[in-house]
Structure 1
Amino acid sequence: MEFRKGEQFTIGMFYSVSFIVDALSNVNLITKRYTRVVQTKN
C-alpha cells in the first residue's frame, strides 16, 4: 500500500495517540492498585 505524505502523517499521529491513551490508562490502573495497597497498609 502506498501512502501520500499527509496520509502517512495522519496514520502516525493516530497510532501515537492510541499508544499514549493506552499508556495513560495503564498508569491509571497501576496508581489505583498502588494507592489501594498503601491504604490497606495504613
Structure 2
Amino acid sequence: MYVGSKGWYVSELKKLGVSYHEGRKIEKYDASTLANLLESKKN
C-alpha cells in the first residue's frame, strides 16, 4: 500500500476511529475526499 493511495487513507482514518462519514462507509469515497477528511480529523 502506497502513501497517498485510497487504501492508505482508509487505514489511517480507521486508526483514528473513523469508519463512517455522513452515513456512508469510508471505503465508498474517492481518495481526494478521504484526503480532505483525514486532514480535518487531524486538526
- Structure with a larger share of its residues in strand: 2
- Structure with a larger share of its residues in helix: 1
- Structure-1-length-normalised TM-score: 0.32
- Structure-2-length-normalised TM-score: 0.32
